[in-house]
Structure 1
C-alpha cells in the first residue's frame, strides 16, 4: 500500500503539468488514478519489488516528459532547458555538450544506486540522467556556465522590493504536495484544511489533548498524511481523509514541539522543542507509525524554532544536512551522519534570543562552488550565508523591516523572496543580476 501511495503522490506532483489549459481533465485524471491505485493495492498477488521498480521507472518517465517542478534535493531538473551564459539550452543542446560534460579530467561520476531495479536507458534520456550525476571539481566551467557564470554573491544580490503588504496575522501553515490544500494550525488547538480554489475550510481537526498547536507539516510523499506538534510535548500523525490520528502515530518529546522537518524521502521526521533538543523518528508510511530513533541536545534550555533538511545542498556538498535555528544568536548547520547522529559543521552569526526565527536552504541546487542558506533575525535583517566559506560567509543582507524578521521563503526559481516580521509586515523582494530583473 505504501508504494502505491507514493505513486499517487508522484502523479499529484506532476498533475499541474498535464493539460495546462484543461483543469477539468487534471481533476478527473487524479481521481481516476487514485481509484486505480487503491484497487491495485488491494491485490495480494502483486509483488512488492515489482511495485518499487514501477515507482522508480514512473518517476523517470514523468521527469523526462515534463521536467521536474524544481531542482530537487536529488538533483532533478526543473525543466528540459537550462540557463547557459544568459541564453536557454534545450535538451538537444545539452546532448551536444555531452562529450565536454563527460570529460573525466574535470568531473567525477557517482554511481546511482537503485536497489534491485535495473533500467537500460538509451539515447537522449540516458544522456540527461548521466549529466545529472556529474559532480564538478574546482575547474567545473560547464556547470558554472549552466548557472549563468555568476558567483554565489552575484546570484543572491537582491535589490528592490517587489511588493509590501501588512495584512499578515500569526499562523503556521503548510501547502499540500498537490498545491490544492493548505493546512493551518493555531493556539486554539485546531488544525484546519483549506481548499485553495474556493477558500473553503473543508475539515477542522481538534488536537487530541486539547493543547495549543505550534507546528504542522505535510508528508513529502503522501498527500493524505500530515504531522502536528503541540504545547504538551506531543507529535501526532493524522490522516487527511478521516481526520483521525494513526494508531501508533503519537509520541511525546522532551518539550513543546515548535518545529518539524522531514528528510526528502519522508522516512525520517525531525522535531525541535523549547528545551533545545532535536528528536528524530522513523516514519512508517504504510501505517503512519512513529518509531523513536534518537534525541540530540543542541542547546540546552534554548528553543529550536526552525528545522530544514536537505539531502545535499550543492554538487560539491553531497552529504545530508540539517539547518537549525536555536535561540543562541546563531544559525547552525549540521551534517547528518549515517547512524542518524548530528555533527556540527558551521555556525552563522544572527540575532536570536527570544523570537521564533526561521531559516531555509535556498531551493535550487547549486551548480557553482558553494551554496546558500537564508535566515531571519531579531536585528530586523534578512541574512544570506554561503556555507562553503569559512570566513565572511555573509554574502548579502537585506534591510527594510522595522521589527524582528521571523520567517523567509523563496519561490521555486529563486526570483522572488518573501520575508515577514513580528509586526505583521510581509515584503516581497525581487532579484537583480547579470540576467536582468527576474
Structure 2
C-alpha cells in the first residue's frame, strides 16, 4: 500500500515494521478500527501491546505503534491515514527516560537525608499546541511504571484535559503503564475547577489554582517517600506567548520543576534557557516533535472537548448510565469565581480604575442561563473555601424550571450530591 493511502475496504492488512520504526494511523470520526500484534514486540505510547490480542482504536484517534526490535502489526477496519515511518524521535525520548530513571534511583537511595536530595525528577513538558506534549507525558509515565515507579501526573492543560474534563487542572498518581484505550486509571485524582478552556481573561485565577494544587502535592510528598522519589511529569498548555508564557514560568516555579522538556520550538527553548540559567538545578532540554503529530483546528479541538465531557457521563464506549436527578433551587448554592462587582470609583485612590477581583467568589442567581452548563461539585463547606478546595465531580444541567424552582441535572452516579456548593464557569455542553 502506498505511504499515507487510506484503504477503501475494511479487510485486514499487515505491516512489517523494521526496528525503531512506527506505524502511524489516523482514525475517522465514525470508523471502527482495531489493531493487533502478530509477531515481535511493539508499544503504543509507551505501553506494550499484548501479542495476538485485538485492540480497539477509538474514533478520532491518532496513534503510533512503535517497535524497538521489529514487529508485524495487523489492522482491521477503516482508517483515514496509515503509513510506516522510520524517522522518529523515540530514541531521544527513551534516553530522557533513562536519565530520569537514574535520578529517581538516586533520590530513593538518599531517603532519610534532606528533602532536596530525596526529591525525584519534576519534569515539565512544554511547547506549542499540537507538538505531542501529552503523548510524551504518557510515554514517560508508562516507562517509569514499567520500572516499578509510581510517578505523579500533573495536567495543567485546561484546553483538553488528560485526567478529567477540560477546564480543570488536576493530578493523579500513575501506578501502571497507561492503558492504550482506557487512558489514565483514576483512583483518587486531585481536581481543581478552573471553569474555562482558555486562561485569557482569568490568568490570576489560573495561578491561584496552580499554587493550591502544588501545595497539596507538596504536603502529600513530604509524607510519602516513594511518591517523592518517583517525582512528577507535568503537562502544560500549548499557549507559549504573552500570558501563556507567563503562566508557564509560574508553573515551572510553583511546582519546583527541575527538568524542562521543550518540544518542537527552538525559540522557546532558547528563551527558557536564558531565563532559567540562574537556577543551577534546572535542566532545559530541547526535543524534536514526532513527524506523526497532527495539527488540529479549532473545530476539531472543540469536538474533542465535547467528546471528553460525554465520556465523563457515558463512558468511553457509551457503557455507563448516568442518572437524571431533580433538586430544588434552595438545595444548592451556585458560585462563580472572578469578575465580581467592581469597587465604585469613589472608594478608589484618585486616578485608579475599578478592577474586578479575579479570585472573588460570587453567588449566581439561578435562571435559564444555567441550561447546558457543566457545574463542578465542590468539597468546600463554606463559600470562602471554594478556591482552596478541590472538587468531587461534575453535573450537567439539562433543565431549569423557573416556576417550580427545580433544576434537572445529569450525574455520573445515583444518590445525593456530596456537597451543595456548586461552581459555574463557562464550560457548556450540548448533549448529542
TM-score, normalised relative to structure 1: 0.22
Higher helix share: 2
Structure with the greater relative contact order (CA < 8 A, sep ≥ 6): 1 or 2?
A: 2
TM-score, normalised relative to structure 2: 0.22
Instruction: Flag the structure with larger Rg.
Output: 2
